[in-house]
Amino acid sequence: MAMKSFDRRAFIKNAGISAAALPFLGNLDALAFSGKNIQKQRMVIFFSPNGVIPDSFWPNEDGENFLLKEILSPLEPFKKQTIVMNGVCDKVRGDGDNHMRGIGCLLTGIELLPGNVQGGSHTPAGWANGLSIDQEIKKHLQKSEATRTRFGSLELGVLVPDRADTWTRMSYSGANKPITPIDDPYQLFSKLYGQAKDKEVLGSVLDPVIADLKKITALVGKDDRKILEEHTGFVREMEKELRGLKVSQGHAMPKLDPGIREENDNLPKISRMQLDLLHNSLVADFNRIATFQFTNSVGGARMKWLGIEEGHHQLSHEPDTNKVAVEKLVKINKWFCEEIAYFAKKLKDTPEPNGQGSMLDNTLLVWTNELGKGNSHTLDNIPFVMVGGNLGWKAGRSLKFPRIAHNRLLMAMAHGFGHNISSFGNPEYCKDGPLVLS
């Protein structure tokens, strides 16, 4: 807590903002340069755990004429803006079991370091040995004034367990530097709107403070009035400064329902709170990049609201012959897809601020998973479904690749943002260059 406020201060200092305005800065919108003449590009990567049910997920067809299967059916309204990519494989090997590598190498494309986290099989491992693609692109965007935003990126989650290990971290700011996702909507709120709220709180207490100063001034002798009068002057100055700084995030502060606890049954509620806040943040251009992690690798959400009592991970181990389990897993995965469709709709319904089309036209939503299939723990055919976006990719397609390394897709994302890196993660898997998706 201490270091946080310290950092903010350092940031403001570096940005050259007068210390006088310090506690009252709105949301630094003056710093959120909006790159007026360039169409914005954004990307949000969604993660859900435990693989999918291939038969209910992958379209049979290849190309522009394809049918969405049960799990992907919520994306029907956005089908023309959707790409389903089959045949993309996480080929990174090394230490750690498939769950650990499934989440740890997913966005980093590089091996895990040797460590002390022991999975159900294979050798123990630690953190990934490199940064993740969301952070790579964020750094690229933050370098240029035209694309720099207040946060650059947000790392969000829903019911991520309160422990830091290889199974709970997806984003990395560097080798051995996992980023803790924010999974508490109230914490996210104060990250986004804390300063604006401080301002509101302060504004509401200045009158009683001035009244107190007046009362005491009346009680003390002439000589001591000076210090109190001087003090009152500063408080009045602050009042003026507060009035001078208009509410600046471009929209009213959202209101959160109080007291939603982080517990399994609140998952749907928290998911929507997080998605709504993320939507607000993108509208305000606080960030262009985000990751959104449902639970964790091996996540065991119990989706009672779908009539499912068992935990997700437990179900994912059931053999294909257990039809009841397969049905439940289809339901579970479809539920995740509905959340993404909800978010896609929100973006589609929001016209691009200061730009053309809807926000969805400029925001690439990526839905991915740690595994291809839950009961086999395969890292082949990792689900990658894209909706929307403005990376020059041709959408409305079902693509089937011949078992290509997922590093090439990660590179294509960077290239889509004009960041033409020659490799990402382990260069071994990058030899054939970025996937061409135009």
Partner 1 sequence: MNFSRYDHFWLGLKITFFLLISFQFGRVQGAPNGKKIYETKCLSCHGLNGEGVKGKYNKPLSGDLTPNQLAKIIEETMPKEDPGSLSEADALAVSAYIHEGFYSSIARERNRPARIELSRLTVRQYRNSMMDLVGSFRPNAVPSDKTKGLRGEYFKTRNFNKGDLAESRIDAEVDFDFKEESPIPGKMEPGEFTLRWTGAIHAPETGYYEFVIHASHAVRLWVNDKNTPLIDAWVKSGKDTEYKGSIYLISGHSYSLRLEFTKAKQGVNDNKKPKVVQPAFVKLLWKKPGGPVEICPGEYLSTLAPPEMFVCSTPFPPDDGSLGWERGSTVSKEWDQATTEGALEAAKYITSKLPEFTKVKDGDPLFLEKTEEFLKKFASRAFRRNLQGAESEFIKKVLKEFKDPQDGALRVLVWILKSPNFLYRNEGQGGALASQLSYILWDSIPDQQLLDAEASGKLKNVEGLNREIDRMLLDSRAQEKIRVFFHDILLLNQTHELNKDASRFPGFDSKLESDLRISLDKSIEEVFWEKDSSYQRLFLEQGLFMNERIAKFYQQNTKSKTGFEKVSLDAGQRAGIVTHPYMLSMLSYSAESSPIHRGVFLARSLLGVSLKPPPEAAAPLAASLHPSLTTRERVALQTKGGACMTCHATINSLGFTLERFDAVGRLREKDNSKLIDSSGWYVARDGKKIAIENAQGLGQYLASSPDAHRAFAEQMFHHLLKQPTRAYGAETLEQLTRYFEKNSLNMRKLAGEMARMACTEKTGVKLQEVGKQP
Binding residue for partner 1, selected from 12, 17, 31, 238, defined by CB under 8 A: 238
Can you tell me which of 46, 66, 78, 127 binds partner 1, judged by CB under 8 A?
127
Residue 5 interacts with partner 1 (CB under 8 A): yes or no: yes
Contact 90, 406 (CB under 8 A): yes
Shorter beta-carbon distance to partner 1: residue 39 or 118? 118
By C-beta, is 297 or 316 nearer to partner 1? Answer: 297
Q: Could you tell me the two tokens for 252?
A: 């009213």
Q: How far is CA 397 from CA 36, 68, 108, 393, 406, in A?
A: 31, 11, 26, 10, 18
Q: How many C-beta atoms lie closer than 10 Å to residue 335's C-beta? A: 21
Helix (H) or strand (E) holding 168: none
**Residue in 18, 37, 145, 205 binding partner 1, rule: CB under 8 A:** 205
* C-alpha to C-alpha distance for 348 and 219, rounded to whole angstroms: 62
Helix (H) or strand (E) holding 386: strand 384-388
Q: Contacts with partner 1 in 145-174 (CB under 8 A)?
A: 164-166
* Residue among 73, 66, 67, 71 nearest 56 (CA): 71
Shortest separation between residue 237's beta carbon and partner 1, angstroms: 7
Buried b (16+ CB within 10 A) or exposed e, 87-122: bbbbbbebbbbbbbbbbbbbbbbbbbbebebebeeb
- Compare residues 125 and 371 and give the one whose CB is closer to partner 1: 125
Residue 169 CB, nearest approach to partner 1 (Å): 9
Question: Considering beta carbons, is residue 145 or 223 the nearer one to partner 1?
Answer: 223
As measured in angstroms, the least distance from the Cβ of 372 to partner 1 is 22
Question: In the complex, what is the shortest distance from the CB of residue 288 to partner 1, in angstroms, rounded to a whole number?
Answer: 28
Is residue 323 helix, strand or coil?
helix
Burial class (CB in 10 A: 0-12, 13-18, 19+), 345: middle
**Which among 60, 135, 122 is positioned nearest to 96, based on CA atoms?**
122
Binding residues among 97-126 for partner 1 as defined by CB under 8 A: 112-120, 124-126
**122 and 141 in contact (C-beta within 8 Å)?**
no
Binding range to partner 1, per CB under 8 A, among 195-203, 245-253, 325-333, 392-400 = 195-203
Binder among 2, 14, 240, 307 for partner 1 (CB under 8 A): 2
The terminus-to-terminus CA distance of the chain in angstroms comes to 46
Pick from 12, 17, 31, 213 the residue near partner 1 by CB under 8 A: 213
Q: Which of 14, 37, 204, 321 binds partner 1 (CB under 8 A)?
A: 204
Nearest-approach distance from CB 127 to partner 1, in angstroms: 4
Which of 230, 240, 402, 438 binds partner 1 (CB under 8 A)? It is: 230
How many chain residues interact with partner 1 (CB under 8 A)?
Answer: 54
Residue 302 within binding range of partner 1, rule CB under 8 A: no
**Which 318-337 residues touch partner 1, going by CB under 8 A?**
none
Residue in this structure with the two tokens 């606080």, named with its chain if needed: 286
Report the sign of the C-alpha dihedral through residues 386, 390, 392, 397, in that order: positive
What's the residue count for the chain?
A: 438
Nearer to partner 1, 38 or 175 (CB): 175
Pick the closer one to partner 1 by CB: 222 or 323: 222
* Span near partner 1 by CB under 8 A; candidates 37-45, 136-144, 203-211, 350-358: 203-211
Q: Which listed residue (231, 269, 272, 400) binds partner 1 by CB under 8 A?
A: 231
Question: Is there binding between residue 60 and partner 1 (CB under 8 A)?
Answer: no
* Tokens describing residue 152: 């650059």
Cα–Cα nearest to 157, from 275, 288, 316, 305? 275
Rounded-to-10 torsion of CA 293, 6, 258, 344 = -30
Q: Which stretch binds partner 1 (CB under 8 A): 60-68, 139-147, 232-240, 246-254?
A: 232-240
Positions 250 through 269 that interact with partner 1 (CB under 8 A): 258-259
Point out which residues bind partner 1 (CB under 8 A): 1-3, 5-6, 9, 19-20, 22-23, 112-120, 124-127, 129, 164-166, 175-176, 198, 201-202, 204-205, 208-209, 212-213, 216, 219-221, 223-224, 227-228, 230-231, 234-235, 237-238, 258-259
